[in-house]
Each structure stands twice: as C-alpha cells, then as structure tokens.
Amino acid sequence: MDLNYITGILTLAGINLMAVLGLSLLTGFTGMFSFGHAGFMAIGGYTSAMMTVKFGLPFIPALLIGGLVAALVSSVIGKLTLNLKGDYFCIATLGFGEAIRLILDNVQYFGGARGWPGIPHHTNLLNVVIINIVAIFILANIVRSKHGRNMIAVREEELASQIVGINVFRYKLISLMISAAYAGIAGGLMAHYMTFLQPKMFSLTKSTELTIIVIFGGLGSISGSVLGALVLTSLPEILRAFSNWRLVIYGLAVVIIMITRPSGLMGGYELTPSSMKTLYTRMKNKNKGLPNQMEGGKTI
C-alpha cells in the first residue's frame, strides 16, 4: 500500500467523521434518530460548491456557508417534524433525505442526475484533520456544559426533562441544527475532495451508514464516534478485494452488533486521559477484591 492510498482513506474517513460527529450529538446525546442526514450533506455540498465554482469564494467561507444553509434548512424541517414521536420522526427525515436527492436530480443548474464535474480540489488530509479537531473541541464543550446535559436529559426521559424545566423542543432543534451544520460542512469537504457531485452520492444508504457508524461507536461517546468512523470507513476500503462480498459482511455485521453488543465499541464511555486513569484505578481495585460500584455501567 502506498502513502497516497492511505492518505486517501484517512481523508475519506475524516469527511465521514465530520458528519458522524454531528449525528452523534443528535442521536447519541439527544436520542433522536435520523435517516436523512445525507440530505444535509447534499445541501452543504452543493451550496459550498456553488460558492467556490459560481461565486469564486475561498474554500473555508464556502464550507461555512454550506454548513449554515444546511442548518437553516434543518430548522425549517425541525420545526415541522420534531414533535413527531419516535418512529415517525425517523420516517420524516427519511422522506426529507430522499426528497432532497430527487429534487437535485431535477435541478439542471447543478447538472441534475448526471452530476456536476469540475469542482476545484481543496480538501486534503491536513485541512480535514484540523476541521475535525475544531469540531470535536466544540462538541466536547457543548456536551459537558449545561446545554449538553439538557440534551442528555431529553434523551433519557422527555417528560422528566419538561418537569425540571428543560425546553425539550428547543434542545431538540438546537441539536438538529448543529448536526445538520456538521453534515453540511462534511458535504462541502466531500465536494471539494471528489471534485464531482451527484445526487446519487447522498442516498438513503449514506444516511443509514452514518447512523450505523454512530451506533457502532457507541451512543453518547464522541471518542466512540471517532473510532467508529475510522474503522467503518477504512475497513470496506481495505476489503475492496472482496468487492461484492464486503457489503454482505457489512449488513450481517450490523445485525450481529445490534443483537450482541448494542452499546457499541465505547458503550457511552469516553476515551480521555482522566477516564483512562479511572479505568486503571478501577481495575486495580477489582484486583484487590473491592466492590465495584459502577456495576451495570451506562449501557443504552
């Protein structure tokens, strides 16, 4: 394997990670499931490509505008659908994602279903890594603030959240908008990496893939999402030799993960220096035969 190949895989994993991080806030921390985030990626991708190609804007502002537009669209969708319970919100996002794709199929300005070639190549491993670090920093700070705790409360028990004075709808909306902005930026990164956009790239399969990564990494764990994105993006690439069979294995693996280890890789825990220390002391305590108070853990 040559260096270019590895850089390529890592860049792709990084682009996926950006979208996964946003979805992690929505799904892992706020407890809302979306099958339409590929739609937000599409909005961000096409918007930022329009900014660089048609308006000649620099890359970073174009990315941010892409994220912003995705967030604005999500706020409209959210206001309409966030009150739907459980399954129905998922279905609404699914419908939204597919509708975006089908609309883009018919927008000749962006090349329609045939696609849009000739987008400048701006995305590289370095800027993807930097953007992801900033994104993780922002996410981690939100999650450990009162706003993050309120989102987690919404995930745990909506009625109890209301009763302790949390505006459930508002926090769902904030979470959806942030996640859409992240997906939009990921779409922009993808557009300027592939140098080509096609509505087909943002299908239901893509949305499902993102959700699967979040669950695989472990709901409510940012480090889990990072690991999940790295493993699940690079593994299929490395398994290219098996071409057709890799998706068979992938589908089977998803089912097996659901029925055997539904808490994902990290099971709600974070990999941080301090958590490593606690883990170490706990293991030491266990060896001494002290009672382990954390029994049960944070499985979801």
Partner 1 sequence: MSQLLQQLINGLSIGSVYALMAVGYSLVYSIMNFSNFAHGGVIMLGAYFGYYYLTSVGLPFPIAFIASALTTCVLAVIIERGAYKPLRERKAPFLYFIISAMGTSIFLENIVIATIGPTFRTYPEVLSRTPIQLGSVSIGRLDLAMFIISAICLALLVFFIDHTKMGKAIQATAYNIKASALMGINTDLVIIVVFALGGFFAGIAGVLFGMKYTVYPQIGVITNKSFIAAVFGGLGSLPGAVIGSILLGVIETITSGYLSSQYRDLIAFVLLIAVLVFRPRGLMGKVTEDKA
Partner 2 sequence: MNILELKNLTKTFGGLTAVGNVDFEVPNDGISGLIGPNGAGKTTIFNLITGVYKVTDGRIIFKGKDITNMDPYKIAGSGITRTFQNIRLFKKLTVYENVLTACHANANYGLFEAVVRTPKCRKQEKELEEKANDLLDIMGLYDRRDLIANNLPYGLQRRLEIARALALNPELLLLDEPAAGMNPDETVQLMTLIADIRSKFNLSVLIIDHHMDLIMGICEKIMVLNFGCKLAEGTPQEIQNNPKVIEAYLGVEG
User: Of these, 251, 276, 283, 290, which contacts partner 1 (CB under 8 A)?
Assistant: 251
Q: Is 291 in the site for partner 2 (CB under 8 A)?
A: no
Q: Is 162 in the site for partner 2 (CB under 8 A)?
A: yes
Q: Is 164 in the site for partner 2 (CB under 8 A)?
A: yes
Question: Residue with structure tokens 């999402």?
Answer: 225
Comparison of 148 and 218: residue with beta carbon closer to partner 2: 148
Burial of 270 (0-12, 13-18, 19+ CB in 10 A): middle
User: Of these, 107, 126, 133, 247, which contacts partner 1 (CB under 8 A)?
Assistant: 247
Comparison of 160 and 248: residue with beta carbon closer to partner 2: 160
Structure tokens at 20: 């996964």
Determine the interface stretch with partner 2 among 139-147, 184-192, 201-209, 280-288 (rule: CB under 8 A).
139-147
Q: Is 282 in the site for partner 2 (CB under 8 A)?
A: no
Comparison of 53 and 142: residue with beta carbon closer to partner 2: 142
Helix ranges restricted to H, 24-121: 37-53, 59-81, 86-105
Comparison of 114 and 170: residue with beta carbon closer to partner 2: 170
One character per residue 186-205, x = contact with partner 1 (rule: CB under 8 A): ------------------xx
Q: Is 249 in the site for partner 2 (CB under 8 A)?
A: no
Q: Which residues contact 233 (CB under 8 A, 6 or more apart)?
A: 9, 12, 13, 16, 17, 213
Closest CA to 220 of 269, 277, 289: 269
Comparison of 273 and 296: residue with beta carbon closer to partner 2: 296
Q: Is 138 in the site for partner 2 (CB under 8 A)?
A: yes
Shortest CB 223 distance to partner 1, Å = 21
Output phi, psi for 216, to 5 deg.
-60, -40
- What single string gives the DSSP state of each residue in 154-206? HHH-HHHHHHTT--HHHHHHHHHHHHHHHHHHHHHHHHHHHSEE-GGGGSHHH
Distance CA 40, CA 25 (A): 15
Counting every residue written for the chain, the total comes to 300
Distance CA 212, CA 132 (A): 19
Comparison of 108 and 293: residue with beta carbon closer to partner 2: 293
- Site residues, partner 2 (CB under 8 A): 138, 141-142, 145-150, 152-153, 156-157, 159-168, 174, 268, 293-300
